[in-house]
Amino acid sequence: MDCVPPPAGCKTAHVAELNGTPVTLEDLQALALTNYGHFTFIRLQDGAARGLSLHLDRLVRDCSTVFGVDLDRERTLTYIRKAVRGVSGAVGVRVTIFDPALDMGRPSQGQDPHVLVNLRPVGAGLPSPLTTRSFTFSRDNATVKHLGLQPQLRIRRDAQLAGFDDALFTEPDGRISEGTTWNPGFVTDDGTVIWPEAPALSGTTMLLLRSVDAPKQTTAPVRLTDLPNMAAAFATSTTLGVRPISAIDDLRFPNEHPVLTALHEAYTAIPPERL
């Protein structure tokens, strides 16, 4: 990663700060052993990010749900700015909200959430098409981006062991909901984008795309039995942007489609917000 000016003051993408100071192992004990909290992941490019306001909205909203307190939005933004100071180019910024003093036996007393900011390198270039296997699975507290990732990662592992890249979740009634860490979308023969209607986390990339005028979009229940009538499928996330889905179980989809191109162009045209 390039830094200005090199080499003095160059900060790598391996930084972790808690409330603006270097994190210690003791600070991380509650996070590692209790794993109670929530987070968001921001892809920063030269100090700006698409959907930055949406990420901050998510942190504030989820903090109220998870801890029952208001998160200081501006202070959180200050911690993010401090952590990325001196970093240029593309970097992944994970912001985790947790209470280092939280005790597993008394989670109701966890009312002093701290802000952990850690950086990591992110890949460049367009991702390859995604192959997925469907699983019946309902994520707990689905609208919150919480730290309970073990069930999703276990199912992702099962999908990969079966020869797929990732997992696609369906509700017990057959409705498609979400991927392990991404939102699915589908394209009909007339070029309409359908976002599945089911309990799921609303990703920032999906929300940004839903705000653009074209292509035509709607939200409706989508079941596995509806997929043979779809012209294309795709996944969206902060990390992926817009990624074609080439397979769901035994069903194949094209890697290229005019609507997928239009979605990608619409997404990249959204102005990023400065920190």
β-pairing verdict for 273-274 and 251-252: unpaired
Q: Please compute, for residue 185, the number of CA atoms within 13 A of its CA located in the half-sphere on the CB side.
A: 30
pLDDT of residue 181: 95
What pLDDT is recorded for position 125? 67
d(CA 58, CA 149): 17
What pLDDT is stored for residue 2 in this prediction?
A: 32
Architecture of domain 130-270: Alpha-Beta Barrel (3.20)
| Phi then psi dihedrals of residue 71, to 5 deg | -85, 135
132-138-140 Cα angle (round to 5): 125
Structure tokens that stand for 13 in this block: 């993408």
Average pLDDT per 10 consecutive residues for the chain, totaling 275 residues: 33 78 89 92 95 98 96 97 92 95 79 93 82 97 94 97 98 97 97 97 97 93 97 95 97 97 95 95
What would the two tokens of residue 97 be?
């909200």
Tokens of 131: 């192959």
Six-digit token pair at 273? Answer: 């917000």
The DSSP output letter for 103 is: -
CB-hemisphere CA count at 13 Å for 30? 22
The per-residue pLDDT for 14 is 63
What amino acid is encoded at 102 in this protein? L
Spell out the residues 6+ positions from residue 62 whose beta carbon is closer than 8 angstroms to its own.
38, 97, 144, 145, 146
Q: Which helix (H) or strand (E) holds 237?
A: strand 232-237
The three-point CA angle 118-122-128 to 5° equals 145
The helix, strand and coil proportions of the chain, stated in percent and rounded to the nearest 5, come to: 25, 30, 45
Whole-number Cα distances in Å, 103 to 59, 141, 149, 190: 22, 21, 20, 54
The helix (run of H) or strand (run of E) holding residue 93 is strand 90-98
How far is the C-alpha of 262 from the C-alpha of 251, rounded, in Å? 23
What single DSSP character describes residue 126? P
Tell me whether residue 262 is exposed, middle or buried, using C-beta atoms within 10 angstroms of its C-beta: 0 to 12, 13 to 18, 19 or more: middle
Q: Does domain 16-120 bear CATH number 3.30.300.30? A: no
pTM score > 0.85 for this model?
Answer: yes
Gyration radius of the chain over CA positions: 19
Q: Taking the CA of residue 151 as centre, how many other CA atoms within 13 Å lie in the half-sphere pointing to its CB?
A: 14
Round to the nearest angstrom and report the end-to-end CA distance of the chain.
19
* Domain locations in the chain as residue ranges: 16-120, 130-270
